[in-house]
Amino acid sequence: MAKDKKSFRDELEKLASIAEIVEDSILSNGNVKIIVEMEPEEYEKVIRNFAGVYQNLQELVIDISGVNFTFVLKT
Residue type, 59: E
Q: What is the mean pLDDT of residues 36-65?
A: 87
pTM tops 0.85, yes or no:
no
- Tell me which of 67 and 48 has the higher pLDDT: 67
Q: Hey, what amino acid is at 63?
A: D
CB 46 within 8 A of CB 60: yes
**What are the pLDDT digits (tens) for 3-23?**
445 788 898 999 999 999 999
pLDDT: which is higher, 73 or 28: 73
**DSSP output for 3-56:** PPPPPHHHHHHHHHHHHHHHHTSGGGGS--EEEEEE-HHHHHHHHTTS-GGGTT
